[in-house]
Amino acid sequence: MGKEPPWEELTPPAEAAYYRCVEDAFARLRGTPFLFTSKDFGLLQRWWREGVPLAAVLAGLTEVFAKRRERHDDPISSLSLCRHAVQRHARRLMAMAVGSEESPVLDVSRALARCVSQLEEAARRWESQPGLRDGILALAAAVDSLPRGAPPAALDQTLAHLEAGAVEGLAQELPEEYRKRADERIAEALVGMEADQEVMERTRRAVSLREWRHQLGLPRLELFSPEE
């Protein structure tokens, strides 16, 4: 983020937090500091005013960046390129909230609250690393914005999107010793594996996400847990 975001002193705390979460997530996914243009900020303002859930925005960003990586394209440099993905996720979350009933087996509200609590606990372990702490708290805010009345299967899919995008971005801010440890474990896991390039890349990404999440100390974002 830039040193003087245009909204920092001019908006209510909840709205400013929404903008900050999106801008920080965009920068983490790019792997470089980034400040939205006035056009992109206008789009972000519209999403806030229309009530687009933070989870939908972050899931949309994650999807677009992941597809760019799969095609080996350069990272995107405009929020507007994510607008269609964000709209799809927003429609899906709205349909989940309006057209479904809460699961009789699982207490969704309790499960999501557990995820948020675990993320907040993980963030406290990184108090000395503000970038990591704030990124984890942004993920917690996105999880907290999910509709409680949605079907568990659909929520688990959204949680997986949010987790992958956050872990991939936060891994870039891991202290060197943690990143080196993860790289060593990733290399060990792939030793001797023989497959075509596409399979190898998918496997490497899955292993990397697992090891980065471990080094970050993040929980798996899933509704069902052993204690549920």
Residues 6 or more apart in contact with residue 61 via CB below 8 angstroms: 22, 25, 26, 29, 82, 85, 86, 165
pTM of the entire predicted model: 0.66
pLDDT greater at residue 27 or residue 121: 121
Average pLDDT over residues 173-198: 86
What pLDDT is stored for residue 174 in this prediction?
A: 93
Token duo for residue 16: 């400013």
Domain boundaries, the chain: 13-216
pLDDT-derived band of residue 151, with 50, 70 and 90 as boundaries? confident
Mean pLDDT over all residues of the chain? 82
For residue 192, pLDDT beyond 90: no
Token pair 């993860």 in the structure block, residue: 182
> How far is Cα 1 from Cα 51, in angstroms, rounded to an integer?
23
Token duo for residue 224: 């069902």
User: CA-CA-CA-CA torsion for 79, 84, 90, 93, nearest 10 degrees?
Assistant: -130
Token duo for residue 20: 């900050």
The full DSSP string for 141-197 is HHHHTS-TTS-HHHHHHHHHHHHHHHHHHHGGGS-HHHHHHHHHHHHHHHTT----H
For residue 18, pLDDT beyond 90: no
Q: Kindly report, residue by residue over 24-62, the tens digit of the pLDDT.
A: 888 878 877 777 888 888 899 899 888 888 888 888 888
